[in-house]
Amino acid sequence: MTLDLVTFIIYALAAFRLTRVITTDTIFEPVRERIWKKFPASHGFGYLITCDWCTGFYVSILFVVGFLLVPVIAYVVSLVLSISAVIGLLAGR
């Protein structure tokens, strides 16, 4: 299976966007707060959902597995997330 540069960039932007949703975006805040009730930020899992590097690693694994096992679905999801990432970056958010 080959991965051309454009596809790589799409997946990378998608991983960036999903990582931001999990670690930073307001829409995911209620989920983060529920997790922090059980696993405070000092706990490994509680810290994981605030750390872009940490979460980004696992999100990237998810996209690679998707690319290998269900490439069409993974590509469509990645395309949507990458477009959202570009919009956010251009809007300065």
Question: Along the 93 residues of the chain, how does pLDDT read in single tens digits?
Answer: 678 999 999 999 999 999 999 999 999 999 999 999 999 888 888 899 989 999 999 999 999 999 999 999 999 999 999 999 999 999 986
CB-neighbour burial class of residue 68 (10 A; exposed 0-12, middle 13-18, buried 19+): exposed
DSSP class per residue in 30-43? HHHHHHHHHS-TTS
pTM over 0.85? The answer is: yes
**Helices 5-23, 71-91: crossing angle, 10 deg rounding:** 70
Instruction: Please give the structure tokens belonging to residue 89.
Output: 């970056």
For residue 59, count other CB atoms closer than 10 A to its CB.
22
